[in-house]
Structure 1
Amino acid sequence: MAATPPEQRIWWNEPIERVELIWIFIAFLWGLFMFGFMIAWHFIGQQNLSKEAYRIAPTAYEQKVENFAKQFQVREEQGIPVVKPKPGADVYLLARLWQWWPILELEKGQSYRIHLSSIDWQHGFSLQPTNINIQVHPGYEHVISLTPTESGAFGIVCNEFCGIGHHTMTGKIYVTDKKQAAADQRLAEQR
């Protein structure tokens, strides 16, 4: 029951007020603009992720990641290997209950091809504080190209509920600035 019922019982037959027509027209034009801009941004935004993905057995992907970690491990953090691949290399990251494995150490300004997959459930790869979000599925190897533009520590969060330990599923990517490290080293030597 309406607070003030329409004069006619069939309300949709009543004439539309001029102000309402103007707002409907503005909303329609705004919708067309946003639709068109989404298409345009796909081409001019330069933020689109790679559409490269392959089918792979989860056990085969796990073996790839373990071999990658053994080859490029530089240290360990809380029992998790920290790997530092060569610039331009293919980098492998594994999602499993409830961790991202291994920890990556990349160089600022260098490009990498990051391979992502899961060995058990669907997980979400959310690189914080940047806006990179990917659903990671077992049986599929997703490949994205990444060129870090800032140095620091970046967190990886699983943003797809994956069970009771979901809230603990995090990972890390360190980005080092080789030029800054060399400058810091020279400064330390001068002291």
Structure 2
Amino acid sequence: MSAIEPPRNRLWWKQPLDRTEGLWILIAFVWCMVMFFMMPYWHIYGKQNLANEAYRTTPEAFQKKTDEMVAKHKVREETDLKIPVVHPPAGSDVYLIARLWQWWPMLELEAGKTYRLHLMSMDWLHGFSLQPENINIQVHPGYEHILTVTPTAPGKYSIVCNEYCGINHHTMVSRLYVVK
């Protein structure tokens, strides 16, 4: 086959398949199938991906639930922005709002206790990244994302937005406290 031939004579699918090309196509296909079946395997047995729930909601409804939680469980305020820190009881629903360029409120959870963490963006796509645990969730506007979490080690963890959300994206950080 030559690039100089007229177009009607150089249609690649009309050319005979070389044995080496067939071997590479077979290798690529087998590798794609291995990767395809590894994704559900690692999700179920390797616990590589978080299984979470997501529901459509409105910013107003989610803000109302978050405000009620803050009013009921606020223990103190932090930073010069006066962001409330809430300490909800074990087993309860915990709400966290993502909005330009802030996580609200800060959370204080007990080690060894299970919580349902509800996340929602009020404006743009944000990313919830809990460090150093490397938990990453995309937080979409209009959807309430729910994770079941059980903190195991006491300490101070960082919550970082890992989806570019505008000019002050680098300032969108918060803390999660885990106490005994």
Q: How would you bin the TM-score normalised by the shorter chain?
A: 0.7 to 0.9
Question: Following the alignment from structure 2 to structure 1, what is the Cα–Cα distance between the partners of residues 50 and 85?
Answer: 28
Deviation at 1:94, TM superposition (A): 0.6
Report percent identity of matched pairs.
Answer: 55
Deviation at 1:103, TM superposition (A): 0.8
Match of 1:144 in 2: 147
1:94 aligned onto 2:97: yes
Gaps of 5+ in 1: 1-5, 179-191
1:132 aligned onto 2:135: yes
Deviation at 1:91, TM superposition (A): 0.3
Moved more, 83-92 or 64-73: 64-73
1:50 aligned onto 2:44: no
Match of 2:66 in 1: 65
Question: Following the alignment from structure 2 to structure 1, what is the Cα–Cα distance between the partners of residues 25 and 55?
Answer: 45
- CA distances 1:56-100 after superposition (whole Å, capped 9, x unpaired): 221221121122112111122111111111111100001111100
Moved more, 98-107 or 27-36: 27-36
SS at match of 2:112: coil
SS at match of 2:159: strand
Identify the match of residue 158 of structure 1 among 158, 161, 165: 161
SS at match of 1:82: strand
Deviation at 1:162, TM superposition (A): 1.7
Question: Following the alignment from structure 2 to structure 1, what is the Cα–Cα distance between the partners of residues 142 and 29?
Answer: 42
Residues 75-86 of structure 1 aligned to structure 2 (within 5 Å): 75-78=76-79, 79-86=82-89
Q: TM-score, normalised by structure 2?
A: 0.81
SS at match of 2:34: helix
SS at match of 2:175: strand
